[in-house]
Amino acid sequence: MDAQTVRRIEEALGYQFKNPQLLAEAFLHASAADDRRRSNERLEFLGDAVLSLVVCQTLFERFPDYLEGDLTKIKSRLVSRKTCAELANQLGLPAHMQLGRGMESSRALVGSIAAASLESAIAAIYLDGGMEAAKGFICRLYEPLFVQADAEQHQENYKSLLQQYCQQEYGCMPIYDLLDEKGPDHNKCFEIAVVVRHLRFDSAWGITKKEAEQKAAYNALCQLGLMGGPAAGSD
């Protein structure tokens, strides 16, 4: 691997290597290696473990109220091959992978090669700079996904949070009242409001009943003083 390629990868990763040979190994696909043990496969194996550990630790520390099942679901999505491939492509890593003859045109392996390029790069950073360097890179790269995961998890829980509150405070279940629906059958929108005993909360629209119910539950939580954000849109 020439010095210019090394610099480009370092810029993409935001990390400068003390031992650039690790990068050469990280971006050498088995199809282009004389000895498979010198390809990126072993680094991919290590990088997968480092990534999982850092993601698990970060989720554990950032979301102390999440149950084990919630953490596992988020972690599985964040370290999946699909997510790793998307992040690798954002950084432009697959373009630097040294592939054997015929592999460059193989579309079936594109996602696999992209994901492997990220995992092997993580291992290279870990071996070159230690866990703190690897953790810093992973956390910078994954920060938008951590934020997104938190937002999505809260959205999934609005109805359950409201249900728990209503059962504790009122001894009843919230009712989701369908007020209106608009649009053709293939593109409907639904307006739903939450009713708890004599209380009716602000309605909300959604492109599915499930989405409208989540937004309506969020509105109810806001009006009950349990959520601090703005109410979901209603017409």
Catalytic residue, chosen from 25, 119, 191, 213, is: 119
Burial 4-43 (b: 16+ CB within 10 A, else e): ebbeebeebbebebeebebbbbbbbbbbebeeeeebbbeb
Annotated catalytic residue 119 = yes
Cα–Cα distances (Å) from 75 to 23, 80, 82, 83, 170, in that order, read 27, 8, 13, 11, 35
For residue 184, what is the DSSP state? -
Q: Quick check: helix, strand or coil at residue 183? A: coil
The closest of 204, 78, 47, 45 to 152, measured between CA atoms, is 78
Annotated catalytic residue 104 = no
Catalytic residue, chosen from 25, 48, 191, 213, is: 48
Token pair listed for 13: 């990763």
Which H helix or E strand runs over 61? helix 41-62
Token pair listed for 48: 């997968």
Q: Quick check: helix, strand or coil at residue 109? A: helix
CA distance linking residue 101 with residue 71, whole number of Å: 41
Active-site positions? 48, 119
